[in-house]
Amino acid sequence: MAAPKKGRRSPGGQGRPGRVLAFILIAMVALVGGMFASGQTTPRLGIDLAGGTSFTLEAKNQPGQPNAITTTNMNTAAGIIERRVNGLGVTESEVQTQGKKHIIVNIPKGTNAKQAREQVGTTAQLAFRPVLVAAPAGKLPEPTPSASSGTGKDKGDKSKDKAKDAEKDKKGKPSGTPTASAPGSSATPSGSHSQGRAVTEALKAPQAPKPPTPSPKPSGGPSNDLQKQFAALDCSTKEARSQAAKKAGLAKPEDDIVVCDKDGQEKLLLGPVAVKGVDVTDAKAALDTQRASGWQVQLKFNGSGSKKFADVTGQLAAKPEPQNRFAIVLDGQSVSAPSVRAAIPGGSAEISGNFTQSSADDLANILSYGALPLSFDIVTETTVSAALGGEQLRAGLIAGAIGLALVVIYLVVYYRGLALVALASLAASAVLTYTIMVLLGKAIGFALNLPAVCGAIVAIGITADSFIVYFERVRDEIRDGRSLRPAVERGWPRARRTILVSDFVSFLAAAVLFIVTVGKVQGFAFTLGLTTLLDVVVVFLFTKPLMTLLARRKFFASGHPWSGLDPKRLGAKPPLRASRRRPSAPVDPKEA
């Protein structure tokens, strides 16, 4: 009967505490090594610590939809804007509704923050429109019947001069940054050529668009007033492009419109909306390795969008340049205007041309997240300085250091030698928390803000509380007359239940807080939940094995006055197992 008791291991597999301790130490070394291997050794900082841009969007009803500003549409718009910003790789962006018709957007300072702000500012409906007329960005001669008869030599010369100027402008642009809306892009269906799918081709060399010829005027085409407006439009200035975009944004889907391209190199007269942006289900940038044509944008449509896109590309393919092109219009501006050489069925297409990775990502991001149920104006924009946040961070860190120092003083005074166990466990928890935060910043874009720092400071108390629960259980066993080694093992199951219940409550509170809140409060909840989980890991895999090993050391096992486990100071009863070592003492028959 006695032999099995002698070979029985402690609960939780702690019969080999050295192996368990080695496991968590190896895991800590691996995490630290991974942190240095990632090239990032400091956590990412949020907008309140690193600075950034904050602006407010005000919703507007679309023409013909006076009651479009609803809670559902506002939440949908906020979600799309957030995905659009995050699609650019901006970390810790904050997008949340405020009131009935405002959305607050916070973009931290970073390499992509400016790019994200520009795309978030373009929040109107996305649409595909056929190109009716294309021309250089400058003003054109007013259309007259003699424009194409050979008698208007001077006007023809001026038009040629404008075409030459436009070509010079294009040649003067950096070779690595092609324009997404230039005629040099093309739309092709996804899949190989051998499968017999339709293929569209781009113009091989950049060319200046030719001035439009007003006759013959296509049936059902733009009105004379719109043609005059098109001829008078000068897209070479930012103010003119802005005015044209506002006017085009007020048009109905069935109206013809006049737009500029986003870079001011071309102006387009467009027909009614052929395919809406909501029909695009996916768009992504990809490198064409088969045909070595560089970067391209692959897009997919839903069922109705596939049919409409196939119909419109089939119609455009039969028309001459530039009427074989369709423009992708966002916020009253053309972001791309590829040409079409054949119908594109199947619901999948590729837009290729002189794209760089950045420009392909931009267009794919607009196609993916461009269609919003509402349009917005930026009513306020402010730059957030990191100075105030830095001061608050320093104050918070000072407060945390003072709190930690008080905890250490209390542990040393009250627990003496056991304070070494608590301090080592706190150090292990700090290493795990720091490295995981750094790695999460690299992996999922987690950024440390002031509330998150507060959550980490609160975690010091949660972790210290777990140690105190365990220490007090061990000391209770010693008070009952047991020696240290059995006290460590018998006190663990009771302490374990209390620690798990306490940490479960803390984690549940953090999870609920993370789900029901928005913005910076989520940073507090995330950090609190993370540190609570790490507390369980540290107590089970570090604190308990370390206590088991120290219980075998004479300093602690003998109850040294500075060990924190002195039976006399704890008011212990006579040892329960002393009678087993004394042959002369009476032996309880049950124990025998």
Q: How far apart are CA 303 and CA 351, in angstroms?
A: 20
pLDDT of residue 5: 47
CATH 1.20.1640.10 placement within the chain: 22-42+386-574
pLDDT attached to residue 500: 94
Tens of pLDDT, residue by residue over 146-174, are: 443 344 444 444 444 444 444 444 433 33
Q: Could you tell me the pLDDT band of residue 369, with boundaries at 50, 70 and 90?
A: low
Residue 3 pLDDT > 60: no
Q: What is the pLDDT of residues 170-226, one digit of tens each?
A: 433 333 322 222 223 344 433 322 222 332 333 233 334 444 444 334 445 677 888
Q: How would residue 113 be classed by pLDDT, with cut points 50, 70 and 90?
A: low
On whether the CB atoms of residues 366 and 330 are closer than 8 A, the answer is yes
Cis omega (within 30 of 0) for bond into 43: no
pLDDT at 313: 87
Q: Judge whether residue 406 has pLDDT over 70.
A: yes
Q: What is the pLDDT of residue 205?
A: 31
User: Across residues 224-238, what is the average pLDDT?
Assistant: 85
> Could you identify the residue written with the tokens 């509330």?
451
Mean local confidence (pLDDT), 255-263: 87
- The predicted pLDDT at position 197 comes to 30
* pLDDT interval class at 112 (50, 70, 90): low
In sequence order, which residues have a C-beta less than 8 Å from that of residue 381 and are 6 or more positions away? 53, 54, 55, 56
What pLDDT was estimated at residue 531? Answer: 92
Q: Rounded CA gap, 330 and 271, in Å? A: 15
First and final C-alpha spacing in the chain: 10
pLDDT of residue 226: 85
**84 Cβ contact partners less than 8 Å away, ≥ 6 residues apart:** 116, 119, 120, 365, 366, 368, 369, 370
Give the pLDDT confidence score for residue 142 in this predicted structure. 58
pLDDT score for 159: 46
Q: Does residue 16 or residue 208 have the better pLDDT?
A: 16
Does residue 119 carry a pLDDT above 70?
A: no
- Quick: pLDDT tens for 24-47: 999 999 999 999 998 888 888 777
Across the chain, mean pLDDT equals 74
Q: Which residues contact 202 (CB under 8 A, 6 or more apart)?
A: 183, 184, 185, 186, 338, 339, 352, 353
Beta bridge partners of 186: 339, 352
User: In angstroms, how far is CA 255 from the centroid of its own chain?
Assistant: 37
92: enclosing H helix or E strand: none
Give the mean model confidence (pLDDT) for residues 126-132: 88
Q: Give pLDDT tens digits for 499-548.
A: 999 999 999 999 998 888 766 788 889 999 999 999 999 999 999 999 99
As a whole number, mean pLDDT of residues 371-377 equals 69
Give residue 83's pLDDT. Answer: 66
How large is the angle between the packed helices 520-538 and 418-443, nearest 10 degrees? 130
- Arithmetic mean of pLDDT, 65-90: 72
| pLDDT for position 29 | 94
The percent of residues in the chain predicted with pLDDT above 70, rounded, is 71
Q: What class, spelled out in words, does domain 22-42+386-574 have in CATH? A: mainly alpha
477-505: average pLDDT? 90
Identify which of 1-15, 181-195, 381-395, 478-492 has the greatest average pLDDT.
478-492
Residue 409 has pLDDT above 70, yes or no: yes
Per-residue pLDDT band at 69 (split at 50, 70, 90): confident
